[in-house]
Amino acid sequence: MGTGHMTTAQNLPVVVIGAGPVGLAAAAHLAERGLEPLVIEAGDGAGAAVAQWGHVRLFSPWRYDVDAAARRLLTSAGAGRTEPWSDPEPDTLPTGTELVEQYLVPLADALVNGAGAQIRYRTRVLAVTKDGADRSRSLGRERLPYLVRLATGPADGSGGTGTVEEIRAQAVIDASGTYGRPNPLGTSGLPTLGEPESARFLAGALPDVLGRDRDRFAGRHTLVVGMGHSAANTLLSLVELAEQEAAQGAPVSRITWAIRGGSPRRLYGGGTGDDLPARGLLGTRLRDAVEAGRIELLTRVAIDRLEPSTDPAGDTVRVLGSARRDGDDGALDLTVHHIAAATGFRPDLAMLREVRLDLDPVVEAPRRIAPLIDPNLHSCGTVPAHGEAELTHPDAGFYLVGMKSYGRAPTFLLATGYEQVRSIAAALAGDRAAADAVELNLPETGVCSSDLALAADADGRVSPDELAASGAGSCCAVPAAPQQVSIGAPPARANPLGGAPADAASAASAASAASAGPVGFSTGVMHGRSGD
């Protein structure tokens, strides 16, 4: 690896952090350009984060979920696979598991066996810096390669630190996503008091209520916190579980939904004072469940403290704070078995402390793209195509891509990430013209992606009648928009995955190469979180 502090960057690999959809796409584009990708993945295999929400169906069809360079590699004669790979049916919507098994795992195999890339699993990046220079040193900084400190976990998966080592790179592409760093329940950006001690009661943003986690939720009281599509999907799954329990004569699960805002109308869609048309199936089903009393809705919720049960069984947690119930403000004092916190995600920036970054102070995204992606600026708009030029930082050769490039904005599109890494690979290879020629080819009309996912059958197919009934032509109707791998994002073209989630179950917004910038219904907040 070299030990000298003044090692040049020539002939060093490009380190890609994360073997998710965008990280592997980056590796495919780099390999196609003749560069050497070294992919570092903390999980046990390709798409490890996506696998965690594998039960969730994406909100976009396969045609928008596969990167172009990845497709070329997978279908090439030298892909190194014993069996030929072919595109899945383009108009079906895959689940997270299908995305991993039918696309990401074969792609990782093709990268290693066909393109000569290296992928290291069970390896976590502890820090990125310049080799021989901390953040404050400027002299000769641009000539120094990057130094990446890694920790490789034990093969038994026990979670220990394992071996710590350092490698050098000519460039670093951070596609590590945000799924592993959920926002806390506290309203001030900090964990609420007692939150760390109550970790065993936190079920994550997308528990598999009707599958893997069914026994955990059956007959129990669950508090769902959040007002994105991840919260909505969990709530609807809990409603279905309660209906099944009632039909079987079993104890029925209790569902409480807590939101910080004064009204869920943004998620419902339509209604007085809402300039957006009805959001379709998801919002309608959720509103019906609340109005029918299957879900108890609490608004203006501020959680101040969690108190784990001191009972020997220890199966409940007390939630204290304030809330509005049935129009009256008062104290919040709930005892529940589980909390599904769909409160969004944030990037891990601690490992990048020695890198000179140019980040927006609000959403923690690269400054040049922050105004394009902030979901609080527009509730219905587009994300213009952007590439290497918009993703650069003061330390040349370092890039945040994919969901992590969107910081705290829950609005990332897979196709956007694929275009990001295509442009970056071109720039690293010296092809400035290709790097600057960014575009996204998405449909201009169609149905809301959230409706697509809800209307799909068990095989991911959506009938023509459902397509027609799901809101074609509406403001937020860019159907087949690529799925974001983020959690908690608004519907397609309403708030610019995922992966997406992930930040995953979130609906993707649309991006249009023809659009000069985001347009649509303004929330009234120029740059920052809106009131609801």
Between residues 128 and 504, the one the model is more confident about: 128
Phi, psi at residue 455, to the nearest 5°?
A: -85, -10
d(CA 182, CA 347): 9
The residue to which tokens 């995600």 are assigned:
345
d(CA 408, CA 362): 8
Of the listed ranges 78-87, 104-113, 353-362, 523-532, the one predicted with least confidence:
523-532
CA 301-302-307 angle, to 5 degrees, is 115
Of the listed ranges 153-167, 177-191, 465-479, the one predicted with least confidence:
465-479
d(CA 128, CA 166): 10
Between residues 327 and 115, the one the model is more confident about: 115
Using pLDDT thresholds of 50, 70 and 90, give the confidence band for residue 489.
Answer: very low
For residue 78, pLDDT beyond 80: no
For residue 201, pLDDT beyond 70: yes
Phi, psi at residue 24, to the nearest 5°?
A: -70, -35
End-to-end CA distance of the chain: 51
As a 3-state breakdown, the chain gives helix, strand, coil percent values, each rounded to 5, of: 25, 20, 55
From residue 474, alpha-carbon distances to 280, 287, 307, 383, 508 in Å are 10, 20, 45, 17, 15
d(CA 37, CA 191): 37
Mean pLDDT, rounded, of the chain: 80
- pLDDT above 90 covers a percentage of the chain that reads 60
57 Cβ contact list (under 8 Å, min separation 6) = 93, 94, 95, 453, 456, 460
- Residues 122-173: pLDDT tens digits? 999 999 999 999 999 999 999 999 999 999 976 444 555 579 999 999 999 9
- Residues 429-456: pLDDT tens digits? 999 999 999 987 655 433 334 555 555 6
Global pTM value? 0.81
b (16+ CB within 10 A) / e for 215-230: eebbebbbbbbbbbbb
From residue 73, alpha-carbon distances to 307, 387, 428 in Å are 52, 22, 20
* The predicted structure's pLDDT at residue 354: 97
**Helix, strand or coil for residue 440?**
coil
